[in-house]
Amino acid sequence: MVTTTEARRTTLARPDLLRSQAYYAGAWRDAASGETIAVTDPFSGETLAQVALVGEGEIQAAIAAAEAAFPRWSRTPHRERGALLRRWLELIERDKEDLARLITLENGKPLKEARAEVAYGAGFIEIYAEMAAGVLGEIIPPNAPGRRLLVEREPIGVCAAITPWNFPMAMLTRKIAPALAAGCVMVCKPASETPLTALALAALAEEAGIPPGVLSVLVSTPALFGDIVTASSAVRKITFTGSTGVGAKLMAASAPTIKRLSLELGGNAPLLIFDDADLDTAVETAMVAKFRNGGQSCIAANRIYVQRGVYEAFLAAFQARIGALKVGDGLDPATDIGPLISGRAVEKVERHLDEALAGGGRLVHGGRGDGSLLSPPTLVADVASDALLTREETFGPLAGVIPFKTYDQAIARANDTPFGLAAYVCSSRPDTIAQAGRDLETGMVGINTGLISTAAAPFGGVKSSGVGREGSHHGLSEYLNYKYLCQAGL
Ligand code: NAP
């Protein structure tokens, strides 16, 4: 049943978490132009909020406020910064159910996945609140008598963050938490489809006492924000999660001011299932790696390669699990897959499906949708190895399965892509696992599991999937510079 917007909105225990103004320089403001952008519930199609769409003046003001806040924040003792992050975490935990509902309302994902995202996103704040006190320097044995060689770690300065809609909370906290822990300050532009979770996080950061200017969240047209932050000499780092095309533009535009960059970009993950894999494990891995978040994940298994000996058995078991998936309103506890984010997303899935079928693919389950944003979970077997869905991210609940004969054939196909974010392997042989772990050209490999993301591990890609890592102590280093001090005359 489609409820009214008011009813859906009042499912928040704290309705004041639903913010529509921009937050910068420690204050909530409408756009000077009065412009707004509608945030739409992808399930009901209704408008959830009209959010301030800021212009150049406000973005520059946010950068200036961040610049003004940096000296004090960067010199705030690590333990105090950590304590403020912990307070923010406590407030997020207090309001976790509201945050999950906001994610579901603006993104469409099922509430159970939104709750998992809140826990995952909060995990970054938890680990970086601890690590804030552990930013250590080095003392290097002197290269000559009377000298002292030291290395200090210093925060980079003002950072700008741009994030996508598919994980409205976690993509932000995995940038904000290490940045603030390191002593950096940050101006964030969330995706225009999903700014409400980001603004709620800003409201909780304000309540936690994170000082004005240290964290700003505002929505603008994307190119305007990108142009201003890349051109600004005050902004010393850009951290971006999104498509490879936009990442490449930001990288090029950052060249004249030589900024630090972290780019978490597109993926095209292969899943390799070998004859010796445990079938239940292989099917569970495929279900999670393909259908979590409705397939709208950068590490979604986009191409499933299955060895001949287990091919038909895998297809039958996979089809049975796919057939049990329930598509619908993310607020319904029974829903496994919510609506896709937009009509463009549905159109892409259907284009990949049509092309796979036209190229000889066999439709095992599902098919085209009914014209709504609810895209049916679909399984196509015997997909041609050069089909569109093997070359581009599908970003939807369409699983394409391709048979292979030998290990070398599987690895060659898996690596035949410009992308290198994640890959998955299902096998029970330690030698196959070890060899594939080395041979796959990706930043991450899931072995007998489709669930690899954790704040404790470095997340990121190689090749066109980006540069830099988020999570773990490596994610903290992304916000720190080395300063080498050489003292003579001792
Ligand atoms: P996108 O179009 O690149 O958008 C991502 C963000 O960039 C949004 O905030 C968007 O703003 C902004 N943007 C768009 N054009 C811009 C420009 N010219 N200058 C500055 N910012 C600009 O990506 P998407 O389609 O929303 O997200 C899906 C992509 O993200 C997929 O490729 C996925 O693989 C990738 N992703 C990667 C990771 C990872 O960790 N590697 C994680 C999640 C997603 P608007 O929303 O206002 O357009």
Question: Degrees (nearest 5) of the Cα angle 282, 288, 293?
Answer: 160
* Domain 269-455 listed as CATH 3.40.309.10: yes
Query: Is 50 exceeded by the pLDDT of residue 4?
Result: no
Q: State what percent of residues in the chain have pLDDT above 90.
A: 97
Query: Is 80 exceeded by the pLDDT of residue 9?
Result: no
373 token code pair: 């944003």
Please provide the average confidence, as pLDDT, over all residues in the chain. 97
- Give residue-wise pLDDT tens across range 79-123: 999 999 999 999 999 999 999 999 999 999 999 999 999 999 999
Name the residue ranges covered by the structural domains of the chain.
4-265+465-484, 269-455
Pairing mode, strands 378-381 and 362-365? antiparallel
Output helix, strand, coil percentages for the chain, rounded to the nearest 5: 45, 25, 35
| Three-class DSSP category at 405 | coil
| Predicted pLDDT of residue 237 | 98
Question: Degrees (nearest 5) of the Cα angle 37, 40, 42?
Answer: 150
CB 466 within 8 A of CB 298: no
Q: Is the pTM of this model over 0.95?
A: yes
| Predicted pLDDT of residue 2 | 39
Q: Which of 47-51, 130-134, 278-282, 343-347 has the lowest mean pLDDT?
A: 130-134
Instruction: Say how many residues make up the chain.
Output: 490
| Predicted pLDDT of residue 6 | 61
Active site residues: 264, 298
Expressed in angstroms and rounded, the spacing between residue 299 Cα and the centre of ligand 1 is 14
Question: Degrees (nearest 5) of the Cα angle 6, 11, 13?
Answer: 120
CB 280 within 8 A of CB 313: no
User: What is the CATH topology of the domain spanning 4-265+465-484?
Assistant: Aldehyde Dehydrogenase; Chain A, domain 1 (3.40.605)
Expressed in angstroms and rounded, the spacing between residue 307 Cα and the centre of ligand 1 is 34
CA gap 178, 193 in Å, rounded = 25
Average pLDDT over residues 120-146: 95
pLDDT band at 246 (very low <50, low <70, confident <90, very high): very high
- Give residue-wise pLDDT tens across range 182-231: 999 999 999 999 999 999 999 999 999 999 999 999 999 999 999 999 99
pLDDT band at 133 (very low <50, low <70, confident <90, very high): confident
Residues lining ligand 1, Cβ inside 6 A: 162-166, 171, 189, 191-193, 222-223, 225-226, 241-243, 246, 249, 264-267, 298, 393, 421, 461, 466
| Predicted pLDDT of residue 285 | 98
Average pLDDT over residues 259-282: 98
